[in-house]
Each structure stands twice: as C-alpha cells, then as structure tokens.
A and B are shown apart, each in its own frame.
Chain A
Amino acid sequence: MSNPEQLRYSKEHEWLSPAEDGVATVGITEFAANALGDVVYAQLPEAGSTVTAGETCGELESTKSVSDLYAPVSGEVTEVNDDVVDDPSLVNSAPFEGGWLFKVRVTEEPDDLLSADEYTEFSAG
C-alpha cells in the first residue's frame, strides 16, 4: 500500500489534494478503506454546505460498522462524487482516484496535516 506523494493526510485518515483555483479534493486513504471493509453507503456533505476542519461532515457505512467522516480542512463544498453515492465500493477499489468523496473551496487549513511519509509512519504505528 503506498500513499501518493502529492497528497496530504489527516490523522483521521482523510487525504487532501493540492488545491486548484482554491478547490481541493477529499477522500479516505487506502489504509482506512481496508480497515472499514466493504463500504456500502456513503453519506456525504451537500454541495454548497460548509465543513469545518476536524469536525464530522458525513459517514461511511461498511458491513461491520459505521464511521464518521471528518473534514480535513474548512471551506465550502463545491462538488460531491455522485459515482461514490451510487456505488460506494469505489471507496474500496480506488480510494485515491475514482473513490474521492467531495471537493471543497478551502478557507482554512489546520497546520497538522501530514505528508505522505509522515502518514505512512502514522498509519503503521
């Protein structure tokens, strides 16, 4: 399992892409997807809503459990991945690509996001 270099990571196992025109993409890591098992339902924040870094903004249901989804940054949700809403298994099959969750126009970013190497170490330990 390798965590893409260009992404940054939260300790709640979300990843955040570099912002383009101020908009960054959010998903959960492969480590988190494997820990959850088959995701069967994704409740994502609505487009236009505001999320706050470190606070819950949705939930992911798997066979065995339900897990809160935390926003890695603060901002306004600009787009939600409808493909994941229709087929939540994308979170398992392509967590860093087709299984992205939502896009957010970033207004504030916590200073404790991790690099790929730091996250790899964090999730291993």
Chain B
Amino acid sequence: MPLDARKPRRTALDAVHRSLGATMTDFAGWDMPLRYGSERDEHQAVRTAAGLFDLSHMGEITVTGPDAAALLDHALVGNIGALRPGRARYTMICRADGGILDDLIVYRLAGGRPGPAGAADEYLVVANAANADTVLGALTERAAGFDAVVRDDRDAYALLAVQGPASPGILAPLTDVPLADLKYYTGAPGDVAGVPALIARTGYTGEDGFELFVSPGDAERLWAALTEAGAAVGLVPCGLSCRDTLRLEAGMPLYGHELSTALTPFDAGLGRVVKFDKAGDFVGRAALEEAAGRAESAPPRRLVGLVAGGRRVPRAGYAVVAAADGAVIGEVTSGAPSPTLGRPIAMAYVDAAHAEPGTAGVAVDIRGSHEPHEVVALPFYQREK
C-alpha cells in the first residue's frame, strides 16, 4: 500500500490515546503516544505493577511455505530451523558485509492465530518500525529460489503489550491459555477478553510481560478490557518515552543507537545471536566469521554502561573522553535519567582499554564540560526472578 510519506500513520488505538490526553510524537512515520502523564510514573508502574503499551508501529512480516525455515536460515543470522512451534527467537538480519540491517524477533507460530488463514509452517518476523520496509525488501529479495512466501502483514495486526510484575495476574483471568506453561520467549494462540490473539511472553522492558498480536478491529476492545482488569493493581497506559528508559536500564539495544549498518553483531557485543553451525550458507557468513575473529583477537570499542557522577544527562552522540587529557575514547549511544538508579545512565561504545567495569578516569563531554562517569557492566537493572 503506497503511503504518503509526510503523513504519519495512526494506529487502531489512536482515538483512545487522544481521549487519554496523550502527548503524541512522530516515531518512524507513526503518530505514537510519547507519554500520557509523567513518564517517570509510567516507568515506575512497569517496574512495580504493570503498564499497557500500544506497539502497533512494529513491523509484522509473515513467512510461509515449505521452505520458510530454510529461507529464514539463509536470510537471518540465527538458527531458525531449530525453532520449535510456539517458540520465539531474538535474532538479526545482516548485509553481506556483516552490517546489521535490523534486530528482530521471529515467532514460529503454532497455528490458529488471527488474521489470514495460516499455513502449516508459518513464521512471524517482527521488525522495528523504521526498518520494516528494509527488512521486507531484503527478505523478499533473499526468497528467490525458495518455495516460500514473504507477506507484509503490518496492516493485519495491532500490537498491545502488558509489561510488569503484575501482568500475569492481569492477563490470567482474561484468557483460556494457561500462562504458567507460557515460558519466556514463547507464544501461543488464544483468546484474551474474547479477542483472538497471538499471546507472546516477550517484551522490551526488563520485566515479565506479554505482547498481544490481534486484529486492528479488536484493539480498542482489548485495550479497554486490559485497562479495566489492571486498574485495581495499578496498571497504567505507557508511552514510548518510558519504553526507552525501561529498555535502557535493562541494557537492551535500540536500532539506530546501539545497532547500525556500520556495526556487526560482534561489534555490538551480541555475537551470540550469530549461529555459524546451522545448515547451509547465510547472508553475511564470511564477513561475520572475520568479525568474530577480530572481536576475539583485537576487540574494537565495546558496548558498556556508564553511570553519571552528577545530575547532568549524557545523551546520544556525546563524546566519551579520558578525564586526564580529554582524548576521545568513545561515544554515547543512548542516555537518560534512570528512574530506578536515581542517576543519569548511558550506553556507550568505548575503546577496549577503557571498557572494563570500574575503569577510572572516564568522563562524558556534556556540552563542553567533562563530567565524570563510572564504567559498569550491563544491564543496569535486572529483575528478581
């Protein structure tokens, strides 16, 4: 569907956001809620109770056909052929030179999902909104010679997420799916509040939670049911602003910040997602084997956590410098005040010589002033399990 590039797209929940008085923002061509009230309150609600997100901007792509798994093994760096029905995998799609085109979650569907009738072997690939066209194009191009169909399903889904420790308790009474059997990074078809959904135990907040893929026509009904069910335990609507601080505390990379075409998964400290031992060749294999060797023998900059000594906030693009002589030793990729730590935090690529946790003399150039920062291991925050 050709779209007017200047006109942001609106999700199926747009009227709900406006009735809630959300501050909206243009995000990757979508008009999305940035926050409803205080983004710090929304952040804390997800850490202590639950938050409800509209993530319908995410890019859903369905891959079906006898060669669906073989195509994904060829097109992506992960071992998708090993994925059992109902399981999900965090993976990446790279260029031939190893540069990251996007990070993805791939679900192997167990059948009975909403939307167009599913084939026996069916995978749902979820791309970042900003990269959905790129991923769709790359998968389509890489599908040549495979008996598989790549389908743009962005209009077939709305995506709602319930995140936070209270989310299982909110969802359980609304669904026929036994949530105790639904482990982290699995997904199952089922009804939620009478709405057919793919219920996935995934998220981007560092908390327990669920992502619910539903038909756009059912989105408002599901939102209302979740809002009502969660009210007693403190569920609040949450915008993209707190989603960013939640994922930053959890040390999760964001494409365009920690990930880019200029970096391989190994440069980003995520070499574990590249599976060289899978069957057949895949796009980027040769370059990634080199990158793996380089990361082993002569690591370039490493992705680290920084905690500010003061109250000024290190932001994306600021230089990391050696406090002693001001030499540039890295660059901040994401930074924000951390509600949980009570101090500003950042992720940054830092020269290996300065990247060990506890390294002294590391500062960030905050608009001309070299502010001391502590180098720490990621993540900043990990929930108790």
Binding site for B on A (CB under 8 A): 34, 37-38, 40-41, 43, 61, 63-66, 89, 92
Contact = CB atoms under 8 A, between A and B. Distances in A.
A41 B241 contact: no
B39 A38 contact: yes
Interface in B1-53: 23, 34-35, 38-40
B229 interface: no
Given A34-B23, A63-B39, A63-B40, A41 B337 contact: yes
A41 B312 contact: yes
Given A63-B241, A63-B337, A64-B241, A37 B39 contact: yes
18 contacts: A37-B34, A37-B38, A37-B39, A38-B39, A38-B40, A40-B337, A41-B311, A61-B311, A63-B39, A63-B40, A63-B245, A63-B337, A64-B34, A64-B336, A66-B313, A66-B315, A89-B38, A92-B38
A67 B59 CA distance: 33
Given A40-B311, A41-B311, 13 more contacts: A37-B23, A37-B34, A37-B39, A38-B38, A41-B313, A61-B312, A61-B337, A63-B336, A64-B336, A66-B312, A66-B313, A66-B315, A89-B40
Contacts of A66: 312-313, 315, 367
A65 B38 CA distance: 15
Contacts of A61: 311-313, 337
A43 B34 CA distance: 25
Interface of B: 23, 34-35, 38-40, 241, 245, 311-313, 315, 336-337, 344, 367
Nearest to A35: B23
A40 B313 contact: yes
A38 B35 CA distance: 10
A100 B104 CA distance: 46
A37 B38 CA distance: 7
A16 B35 CA distance: 29
Nearest to A68: B367
Closest A-B pairs by Cβ, 9 of them: A40-B337, A41-B311, A38-B40, A61-B313, A63-B39, A38-B38, A37-B39, A38-B39, A63-B241
A58 B42 CA distance: 28
B306 to A, nearest CB: 16
Nearest to A64: B241
A37 B313 contact: no
A43 B312 contact: yes
A6 B291 CA distance: 65
A37 B337 CA distance: 12
Contacts of B367: 66
Contacts of A89: 38, 40
Interface centre among B35, B313, B367 (most CB of A within 10 A): B313
Nearest to B41: A38
A40 B40 CA distance: 10
A44 to B, nearest CB: 12
Contacts of B315: 65-66
Contacts of B245: 63
A67 B336 CA distance: 14
A63 B313 CA distance: 9
A40 B308 CA distance: 13
Contacts of B38: 37-38, 89, 92
A24 to B, nearest CB: 27
Contacts of A64: 34, 241, 336
A65 B23 CA distance: 15
A117 B313 CA distance: 35
Contacts of B336: 63-64
Contact of B35 (A37, A40, A41, A43): A37
Contacts of A92: 38
A3 to B, nearest CB: 19
Contacts of B23: 34, 37
Chain B CB within 10 Å — which of A41, A64, A66, A89 has the most? A64
A19 B64 CA distance: 72
